[in-house]
Chains A and B, each alone.
Chain A
Amino acid sequence: MPEKKLLLGDEAVALGALYAGLSGVYAYPGTPSTEITEFIQRHPLARKRGIRNRWCANEKTAMEAALGMSYSGKRALVCMKHVGLNVCADAFVNAAITGVNGGLVVLAADDPSMHSSQNEQDSRFYGKFAMVPIFEPSNQQEAFDLVEEAFDLSEALKLPVLFRLVTRLAHSRADVTVPDAIREMNPFRPEEGRHWILLPAIARKQYQALLGKQGQLEAEAEEAASFEKVNGKGLGVIACGIAANYVKEAAPKGISFLLKVTRYPLPRNKIRELAAVSDGILVVEDGQPFAEEQVAAFLGADYPVEGRLTGRLPRTGELNPDVVAAALGGIQNLAFEAMPDVVSRPPTLCKGCGHRDVYKALNDVLSEYPDARVFGDIGCYTLGALPPYQAIHTCVDMGASITMAKGAADAGQFPSVAVIGDSTFTHSGMTGLLDAVNDRANITLLISDNLTTAMTGGQDSAGTNRYESICKGIGVEPEHIRVVIPQPANLPEITRILRDEIHYNGVSVIIARRECIQTLGRKLRKQKAEKG
């Protein structure tokens, strides 16, 4: 009997993939996508069926491994936050040229409003760029249902499918009706033929084949788009994914039809039909004005199209029921005004966190060097930018601390210090360290190792217990690989070592290692519960 479950959007995707006969999930943790892989890791079916589910070193290794599983005939899911798609863009775009064998679904969770991110890039542009089908569910039930459709379409078209979520859907729970039937996994059946070898002569043929599939992609997406009649005349509304919920919440009276889009390429015929019966079109979409730009372009300059570009909706930030209601002409009379007494309460490093001791020591030493620059990276320790430490000068992308410190040192910066976490180091820091070693760059690298991927909730870190040997293998002089335990009692020792290594003209690495206070606390509570 079908069962009702309370699921996050992320969990609905995960369960949908399990029910669709998934053989492997490949991912690097990233808000708001992390809970997909975690759900699969905890699910009994994963153990029963031997579904591959460990964390990967980064999104590129994840995407390529998933492509390999697809090559072998099995269904693979790869999950990431939106900026992760930048990391694996090479593999993603070229997977559209090779095509796939087993179904390959690439899930990108976008973060409009940048709740936990450095930008609000819209992954749909990547899907269009790679010329693959894009799915964008509007709610948790669709998230569950569409995953299987995405796998089926991937196998039918022999293309990867991009599956887009936004934070608000990824991290919101709703009741989802789950059927009984669980699809069997695909058999192991490796691909035949030479079209996976992207030598120019083959790639040109494959690119033509990809172009040849575009008509079919459009027809599929056209069929999936649905009209809802409201008034029959007035403003036409195109709502993409989650935006449809906000439009329905506002229950606007003066609109002609609501055209709900959950698949791309955009359904041009239906959009033309809508335009024909409406006075103008309002495009409501979360993220960047991806659809609005295209709709305005193909309806021509004379047809009024509004949305984020025209200012009818805010240009940035996630949608919410209030801005959508306002764009549809709703007037809100609020009972209470926002209170002036309320001040912001930003996140902070936890009490007792080792990153605090790292920054304390670093600030002590660098107070002697007014020209010092500290290149930061992505993780909990980015909070070192805020008071009381204000210890870093940059945070750009995963791994950039090391390479930016190197580039700045090349330009004459001294001291040039990089601070990176353990998981970020194995994600994208190691190759940059190799560059620094080969150039004998004068940088001091601090790896703040808390034995986990902490920011996203404590997932396994790919290089735990191997940082000294990794740095040594990359070619850092063994006497300049130093290990310290970041706790208040050790501050004199840490500052002494920091001073020495800043003085050393070359690459030095200081590994400050102490377990994350959150994962430690969980471990101790679990031990206590098991005992008592």
Chain B
Amino acid sequence: MKKDIILSGVGGQGILSIATVIGEAAIAAGLHLKQAEVHGMSQRGGNVQSDLRLSDKPIFSDLIPRGQADLIIAMEPMEALRYVQYLHRDAWIVTASEPFVNIPNYPDSARLKKSLDTFPNVVSRNIESLAKEASLPKSANMVLLGMAAPHIAILTSEQLRAAIGRVFARKGDRVVADNLKAFDLGREAAKQEIKPES
């Protein structure tokens, strides 16, 4: 079994923390893992992306070939759409719905939403407001991970929760508890049907 995941967002949104949690869980589960990251110049407010490959067999390429990714986890809707040519037909897109506008030519957000709706398997939620409503403003990325958890399949939610515990342990019990709460919140949010806006 393999899982090829593209993590994407804007520099500073915390996609590498999501990668760290999945990576920690994968190592503990004895899986093979490759994770290509973006460091350096592109981190300054530019688009950032990470290829995360998990498998029970050895993995060769650090990069995911086009047409083979199983899942995009995105902190931002345009950043989710940036990588769709990497997805296979049955793949999933799990994304935050709120645009991060830091460029003058950011596309019309209604049109972006429409583009996103053309894909067969999409989970899109406003993770910022979910996190804020639950008084977890710093854990929006773990809400997103919770939303994506059912599609990571090669790892169980329990394995991911245990990894959150280990990754955030040095920041104290409170931070661990908040991130676990955020993760569970994301799992619940993903289950709820969203009614089309009239």
Chain A residues within 8 Å of B, Cβ to Cβ? 4, 6, 8, 31-32, 34-35, 115-116, 168-169, 171-175, 242, 245-246, 248-249, 320-322, 325, 332-339, 341-350, 380, 383, 455-457, 529
Contact = CB atoms under 8 A, between A and B. Distances in A.
B192 interface: no
A171 B106 contact: no
A341 B45 CA distance: 19
Contacts of B24: 6
Contacts of B59: 174
A383 B44 contact: yes
28 contacts: A6-B24, A6-B27, A31-B39, A31-B40, A168-B62, A169-B62, A171-B39, A174-B32, A174-B62, A175-B32, A248-B61, A334-B67, A335-B87, A335-B88, A336-B119, A337-B84, A339-B81, A341-B107, A341-B111, A342-B78, A342-B107, A343-B107, A345-B45, A347-B42, A347-B45, A347-B46, A348-B45, A456-B40
A172 B119 contact: no
Contacts, number: 141
Given A6-B33, A115-B41, A343-B105, A335 B67 contact: yes
Contact of A335 (B27, B78, B82, B89): B89
Given A174-B59, A342-B107, 11 more contacts: A34-B39, A116-B41, A168-B36, A172-B34, A172-B36, A173-B37, A335-B88, A335-B89, A336-B87, A341-B111, A350-B44
Interface in B31-66: 32-47, 59-66
Interface of B: 10-11, 23-24, 27, 32-47, 59-67, 78-79, 81-82, 84-85, 87-89, 91, 102-103, 105-107, 111-112, 115, 119, 171
B41 A31 contact: yes
Contacts of A171: 36-39
A309 to B, nearest CB: 23
B67 A332 contact: yes
Contacts of B10: 345
A519 B85 CA distance: 37
A397 to B, nearest CB: 16
Query: What is the predominant secondary structure among interface residues of chain A facing chain B?
Result: loop
Nearest to A346: B46
A456 B41 CA distance: 8
A455 B82 contact: no
A321 B11 contact: no
A246 B36 CA distance: 14
Contacts of B78: 341-343, 345
Contact of B47 (A31, A172, A338, A345): A345
A336 B88 CA distance: 8
A174 B34 contact: yes
A344 B10 CA distance: 11
Contacts of A337: 84-85
A174 B35 contact: yes
A230 to B, nearest CB: 14
B37 A172 contact: yes
Contacts of B112: 341
A335 B38 CA distance: 26
A338 B111 CA distance: 15
**7 smallest beta-carbon distances between A and B, as pairs:** A31-B40, A347-B46, A116-B40, A347-B44, A249-B61, A172-B62, A321-B65
A507 B111 CA distance: 55
Contacts of A248: 60-61
A133 to B, nearest CB: 25
A246 B84 CA distance: 21
Contacts of A8: 37
B127 to A, nearest CB: 19
Contact of A380 (B44, B82, B171): B44
A4 B29 CA distance: 12
A345 B88 CA distance: 25
Contacts of B102: 345, 348
Contacts of A348: 44-46, 102
A168 to B, nearest CB: 5
A116 B36 contact: no
Contact of B82 (A325, A342, A383): A342
Nearest to B59: A174
A502 B24 CA distance: 56
Given A168-B36, A321-B63, A333-B67, A339 B45 contact: no
Nearest to B19: A173
Contacts of A242: 62
Contacts of A6: 23-24, 27, 33, 35
A460 B55 CA distance: 39
Given A116-B42, A335-B88, A341-B111, A173 B81 contact: no
B88 A343 contact: no
Nearest to A318: B63
A115 to B, nearest CB: 6
B91 to A, nearest CB: 8
